Structure 1
Amino acid sequence: MKLSDFDFDLPDELIATRPARPRSSARLLLAQGGEIADRVVTDLVEILRPGDRLVLNDTKVIPARLTGIRTRPGASGEGTARIEVTLLGPRPDGSWSALIKPLRKLREGEVIEFSDRLSAELVSREEGQGVLRFDLEGDAFDRALQMVGAMPLPPYIAARRAADESDREDYQTVWAARPGAVAAPTASLHFDEPLMAALAARGVDVTHVTLHVGAGTFLPVKVDDIRDHKMHAEWGEVSAGAAAEIAATRAAGGRVIPVGTTALRLIESAARDGEVAPWSGETDIFITPGFAFRVADGLMTNFHLPKSTLMMLVSALMGVEEIRRIYEHAIANRYRFFSYGDASLLLPRADS
């Protein structure tokens, strides 16, 4: 298929720059077996059935945007430079991959000072990225990062406003537990504690898995033939307990519905012979039309960018023409798009 098959025109004013308040008051487009209905997120308590299982990504977004100063020893003012850093993820040796602007002004071995408590040395360059080694580790690093870092808002929000204190809560799920993501699993941002309690009372089960969302999720597809696109890899884990819970739901006839494309990609990566098995490692699974879903019976997700890999994923689940119809409905009815926007619940079968 061609990249143009996943394109659409989106009015700029439909790009959300702030979330709905409360979270669960966001609109929900329900697409089920060819029918479309306009609901709100709190209606999940009516839509979902006792025995259904939501799969939730418990990754925690780190404040990965840093601003520092490079000062060469003994240099005058012309030896200083303002450096912008976006952390991409930790490496096995404890260093960090990072986007650095301007990378050309840094030499290997030079130090960037982010505050009097945190600095990093440029260890090397790799494929247009920098590798940084910080002067702190463990809890001390986490505390310093919380003090000096900013939340890494997606480019389409950052171009309209700077991150602020509200984003530290808004751009984090209520169940975030394992630090490591530089982008939020945004479909999960619609859940709050009252909704979680209501779903539990309804008999809807939840399972937590982890996929550390990387900045690669925002990279554009640059090839016309989508078969030539190479996906970015992200680290994830499905525990033995999580795999057993999903298997029990399937055996009992309940539906397994991941919340967000990250959770869906992870459980499909972990599927073995039609079942999810305990799994950890990096996944670069690329889900496009024709993909055989082994586990997911549906998907709760936000509305995605034109010509993105996530548009290809939802098209694989629902069908290219059906997704086109769903998005036309969303635009005509003024749904809010992207990370802080409204949600959809995609159930491909009428009896789902």
Structure 2
Amino acid sequence: MDINQYDFELPEELIAQVPLLDRSSSRLMVLNRQEKEISHRKFNEVQEFLNPGDCLVLNDTKVLPARLYGAKQDTGGKVEVLLLHQEADDVWEVLVKPAKKIKVGTRIEFGGGKLIAECTEIQEHGGRKVQFYYDGIFLEVLESLGEMPLPPYIKEQLSDRERYQTVYAKEEGSAAAPTAGLHFTRELLAEIEASGVEIAYLTLHVGLGTFRPVSVDQIEEHDMHAEFYRVSQETAAQLNRVKANGGRIISIGTTSTRTLETLMRDYGEFTEASGWTDIFIYPPQQLKAIDGLITNFHLPKSTLIMLVSAFAGRDFILEAYHQAVEERYRFFSFGDAMLIL
């Protein structure tokens, strides 16, 4: 399948650079898959489309302040380090700039020596493994020295790092936010729950591969990145009960969707599980786990627009994106949202 089938024209000024002051005041495009109808609402009206007995599935991953700026101990040369994922206690896979300057044995210090990284391995894809040295608790040191790893298309500095976290973020480990969840406030979630809609949580730690463009002409040849997920026994039992009672499973974001579809692919049901998933969802695959999806507007030619196309149909999704551009919706991480039912 040709990658150009998922291309569209996006004016650069529609890429949201800063979050709205009120998370839930973003716009909401509502897609009805059966009737092929599109309507335009506000996100804080989302509960009007939810029924008692439905279940929203939220990804409770928490973004690490994973971008560090330091200097080589031997030369003082500036180095940028981006944490990808933890290999062992203090061993991390990272990306470094400038990569050519970082050899095995190179030591980089941050915050005047509060944190030191020693390169222990050069990886095939150009990344590095590093061993960290520090006093105290690593996450506390990271909080004091690190910056939020905003996506490359966001050029503005973020004044409040909590705006790149969901209000329910709990499990540390992501290199990027599950951005569909950024629209929810605690008050809106409480209103939704009070209306009889259930809330379930799972964890998928988002990797930077989420922003990696598809560089092959044929979609089937794309090498999908892997991300760590965890679904508890409590969540699995909750989802099975909702389905048995006729409720709808509505996934909040592509990360929750990929996790739930991984369970269906590997186990054929909602079950307690954890591990790494490299699931790649694109048409004509059918999604088996979900009945609805809340998601943001994604990059052209991205694996994410392919996933939503598998759920709602490529032509319908591209028509919705065409309307989004015409109606001046805000795109990507800090942009507006889409509800597909």
TM-score range, shorter chain: over 0.9
Match of 1:119 among 78, 94, 116: 116
Deviates more, 1:328-337 or 1:128-137: 128-137
What SS is found at the alignment partner of 2:190? Answer: helix
Residue number in structure 2 paired with 1:197:
190
AA of the residue aligned to 2:206: V
Alignment of 1:1-352 (within 5 A): 1-32=1-32, 33=34, 34-72=36-74, 79-92=75-88, 94-115=90-111, 116-127=113-124, 128-136=126-134, 140-157=137-154, 160-162=155-157, 164-166=158-160, 168-271=161-264, 274-347=268-341
Contact 2:230 2:275 in 1 (8 A): yes
How far the C-alpha of 1:165 sits from its partner, in A, is 3.5
Aligned partner letter, 1:28: L
Structure 2 counterpart of 1:289, which letter? P
Q: Secondary structure at the match of 1:109?
A: coil
**Distance across 1 between alignment mates of 2:194 and 2:140:** 37
> Residue type matched to 1:266 in 2?
T
Give the partner amino acid of 1:35: E
Distance 2:131 2:102 in 1: 14
Aligned amino acid, residue 175 of structure 1: Y
Alpha-carbon spacing, 1:328–1:135, altered in 2? closer, same or farther (3 Å): same
Name which of structure 1's ranges 179-188 and 268-277 shifts more when overlaid on structure 2.
268-277
Tell me the distance in 2 between the aligned counterparts of 1:70 and 1:341: 37
What residue number does 1:75 align with? none
Distance 1:251 1:291 in 2: 24
**Secondary structure at 1:232's aligned position in 2?**
coil
RMSD: 1.2
- Note the C-alpha offset of 1:20: 1.9
Q: TM-score, normalised by structure 2?
A: 0.96
> What's the offset of the Cα at 1:93?
5.6
SS in 2 for 1:155: coil
Extract unaligned runs of 5+ from structure 2: none
Letter in 2 for 1:43: E
> What are the superposed Cα offsets for residues 2-59 of structure 1, whole Å, 9 maximum, x if unpaired?
1000000001110001112210111000001311010111111211111110000000
What letter is aligned with 1:125?
I
Tell me if structure 2 keeps the 8 A contact 1:302–1:343: yes
Deviations 1:140-183 (A, max 9, x none): 110010001000000000xx223x331x1100000101100000
- How far is 1:274 from its partner? 4.3
Is the contact between residue 260 and residue 300 of structure 1 (CA under 8 Å) also seen in structure 2? yes
1:187-246 superposed Cα distances (whole Å, 9 cap, x missing partner)? 000000110111011111011000000011111101001000010000001111111111
Q: What's the secondary structure of 2:69's corresponding residue? A: strand
Task: State how far apart, in whole Å, the 1-side matches of 2:156 and 2:263 are.
Answer: 38
Change (3 A) 1:273 1:87: closer
Q: Percent identity?
A: 48
Runs of 4+ in structure 1 deviating by more than 6 angstroms, as ranges, are none
Contact 1:30/1:345, CA 8 A, preserved across alignment? yes
Q: 1-side partners of 2:94 and 2:329: how far apart?
A: 34
**CA distance in 1: counterparts of 2:225 and 2:340, whole angstroms:** 25
Tell me, in whole angstroms, the C-alpha distance in 2 between the residues paired with 1:301 and 1:332.
19
Instruction: Report the AA paired with residue 64 of structure 2.
Output: I
* 3-state SS of 1:83 partner: strand
User: Do 1:268 and 1:276's aligned partners in 2 also have CA atoms closer than 8 Å?
Assistant: no
Could you tell me how far apart the structure 2 residues matched to 1:333 and 1:165 are?
A: 28
Q: Is the 8 A contact 2:90 2:133 kept in 1?
A: no
